[in-house]
Structure 1
């Protein structure tokens, strides 16, 4: 579901764009032309299909970003932007973010010198210096592992590895979508790229020395 959401937000504005006509600024989105009556056409600069600025501030789609600084405003990787004072995710300010050190990582993860973020929200307790993205759902720092913005309790970042299809493990445990896979054996746990089938027709996508699993559920004991 998260993957579907990410695809959707990046595809919504494919055909969006700004237009300046007869000293007026418009934003064209989803077959609907919106007049930006607060925009200054004379100073209006189009940065791309989703971002622009004028002498009064920066814009995301048809909305002016509140309190944005026009001179320093710049677009980052969609849907991030910043000025000398603030960082924005979509049209909202990322509170307490540091625009000077802010960097977009990937899969909606980002960080600055003080904090790390997922989709514009602070990931609590992160060590920003050691924070790294492992894949689209898992990240870690020197102390912890995270599933999206949530800490995986008792996880070991030094031995943690992603296995694909929502699975991961460290030297102590196996996890599925950030949750412990109870009864699993980390040493022998493997994930298959394609489903396999038991004699009774039940599908499984992973196994260890004791059990067969499918989508994080125990299917059968060996």
Structure 2
């Protein structure tokens, strides 16, 4: 109980917790340490940490949003909102600035100044319908960066597909938000090349269809040859809850063993299994063995 209480306080002290919108001196609205210029202080309303409004304007962080109708404005989540005209994707990008562009290449001048500037990104979603738009949620109930209305699928403001969206699914993964439609599989807003939605089956890091196998990580998707009928990842009990099974980066089929989608040469699939009792494992699921070798992070140990 004590740890639960003090951990957020500790993080706030050392990582600078965001205040978002708040009032100073009871009357003056601020976003973080920046005062908001409004001619309607009495009508100014804080809607969330990131959004506020008065009678004539909508505010996102320190920005005034132009051409947005306050009377029909509705927050969907931290990245999306609507008015009567459209659905919008919004974010801010922080850019590092310096008064000496060549400072890093030549020498650091004595008068060097470094600061950051936030730039607003606001995208009206093409052909969007505010009345039917909603955010897709993953298996844990958290919002993804995907949204859809009755006839369109979007990712971070970009239109991915047109057509009826009744068949759109967020596939069940502990790690990634992967979307399946009738015609495509999407990861990070990009089509997974070579994937067949009709036969696509997702594990955690691995997936397969009738033509081949896939390995997902935070940077990319790898397509590799396998025997889909016999392919399966090797799993281990979740260290926090042994009742839950977690897929490792090892997988095998009838003829081969794989680590992160790459075939392990000379590994024997018939005898290959995870070695959970090894003391030199950096994390669960990293060690394995077969009849002739032991493996660490996909490499045989000599």
Please give the range of the TM-score, normalised by the shorter of the 2 chains. 0.7 to 0.9
> Which of 4, 16, 21 is the equivalent residue of 1:17?
21
Contact 1:43–1:54 (8 Å) recurs in 2: yes
Q: How does 1:27-42 map to 2 (within 5 A)?
A: 27-28=31-32, 33-38=33-38, 40-42=40-42
User: Could you state the TM-score of these two structures normalised by the residue count of structure 2?
Assistant: 0.58
Structure 2 residues not aligned, in runs of 5+? 1-14, 92-121, 138-143, 238-247, 269-302
- Counterpart residue number, 1:115: 152
Name the CA distance, whole Å, in 1 between partners of 2:157 and 2:53: 21
Deviations 1:106-158 (A, max 9, x none): 22111112321122222246753322211433111112222222222342222
Contact 1:204–1:212 (8 Å) recurs in 2: no
Matched, 1:169 2:211: no
> Which range moved further: 102-111 or 170-179?
170-179
Contact 1:204–1:219 (8 Å) recurs in 2: no
Contact 2:20–2:50 (8 Å) recurs in 1: yes
Deviations 1:155-183 (A, max 9, x none): 22222121102x111222211224321x2
Following TM superposition, the consecutive aligned residue runs of length 4 or more in structure 1 with deviations greater than 4 angstroms are 11-14, 20-23, 124-127
1:90 is paired with a residue of what secondary structure? strand
- Counterpart residue number, 2:229: 187
Aligned residues: 199
User: Could you state the TM-score of these two structures normalised by the residue count of structure 1?
Assistant: 0.77
Name the CA distance, whole Å, in 2 between partners of 1:205 and 1:113: 40
Aligned-pair RMSD on alpha carbons? 2.7
- Counterpart residue number, 1:210: 255
